């Protein structure tokens, strides 16, 4: 895995390996950064009273910490372990694993194209980091939007086609899914036609919907972006509200 040459800022989450333990602090090597360390004061280890520090951390243990203070000149950060929630810890570990996967694809590219990794770190990784992104984030963009994304990050033209094909072959982007049932009914004599109109309109806005037995209809929304998924779900609700008023239909949504 490559090492970043910049240094984390106050408020960042970092992954580190415990290297030293004393009565007053814990020293951590920052895994993602070159020649970078952090110290965790004892009172930043846990919200609970600690009798034995090794109940919380031990040598060579991986820890996710919050940066409280950042000294770039000395490559030293003051860290907190207790201020990191379980959700933040899991997300940071997930991001690190995704970055490792993205880096491994670049290593495969290096072997296929007979290019040294130090050249690719300069031509690819550093250009991406300089724009405030990580490799896996750009690979996700490429996977979803196409190879022109690589041009946006100023990746050399001679790399683009081969790197794009490798990303599509080797990288996977998880889809976010929202699904459930829409229960609809109406007392109107032409009720079936009215319900068909609702289903047609839902399909027009990208909702996958199918009959699941009177009066239920199964629906499914998918997106690579969780925010876009929520927007699609909101649009589905707004469409149902509008059509329900127009066509005198009652409906209820149940999520799985």
Domain ranges within the chain, ordered by starting residue: 13-82, 88-170, 176-255
The mean pLDDT value for 181-187 works out to 94
Segment 204-228, tens digit of pLDDT: 999 999 999 889 999 999 999 899 9
Q: What is the DSSP letter of 53?
A: G
* H/E stretch holding 163: helix 157-170
CATH number given to 13-82: 2.40.50.140
Beta strands, E only, 53-109: 62-71, 76-80
Assign a CATH topology to domain 176-255.
Answer: Alpha-Beta Plaits (3.30.70)
pLDDT above 90 covers what percent of the chain? 94
Domain 88-170 has CATH 3.40.50.620: no
Dihedral, 130, 134, 139, 144 alpha carbons, nearest 10: -90
pLDDT at residue 133 in the model: 95
């Amino acid at each position: 895995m490559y090492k970043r040459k910049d240094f984390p800022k106050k408020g960042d989450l970092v992954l580190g390996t415990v290297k030293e333990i004393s009565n007053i602090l814990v020293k951590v090597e920052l895994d993602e950064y070159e020649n970078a360390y952090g110290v965790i004061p004892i009172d930043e280890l846990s919200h609970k009273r600690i009798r034995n520090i090794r109940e919380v951390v031990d040598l060579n243990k991986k820890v996710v910490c919050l940066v409280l203070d950042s000294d770039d000149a000395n490559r030293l950060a003051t860290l907190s372990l207790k201020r990191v929630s379980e959700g933040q810890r899991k997300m940071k570990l997930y991001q690190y694993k995704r970055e490792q996967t993205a880096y491994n694809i670049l290593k495969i590219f290096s072997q296929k194209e007979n290019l040294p990794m130090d050249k690719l770190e300069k031509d690819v990784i550093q250009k991406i980091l300089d724009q405030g992104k990580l490799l896996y984030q750009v690979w996700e963009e490429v996977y979803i939007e196409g190879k022109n994304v690589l041009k946006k990050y100023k990746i050399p033209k001679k790399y683009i086609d081969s790197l794009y094909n490798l990303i599509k072959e080797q990288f996977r982007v998880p889809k976010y899914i929202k699904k459930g049932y829409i229960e609809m009914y109406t007392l109107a004599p032409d009720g079936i036609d009215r319900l068909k109109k609702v289903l047609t309109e839902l399909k027009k806005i990208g909702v996958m919907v199918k009959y699941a037995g009177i009066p239920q209809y199964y629906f499914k929304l998918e997106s690579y972006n969780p925010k876009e998924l929520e927007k699609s779900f909101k649009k589905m609700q707004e469409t149902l509200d509008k059509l329900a008023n127009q066509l005198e239909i009652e409906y209820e949504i149940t999520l799985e």
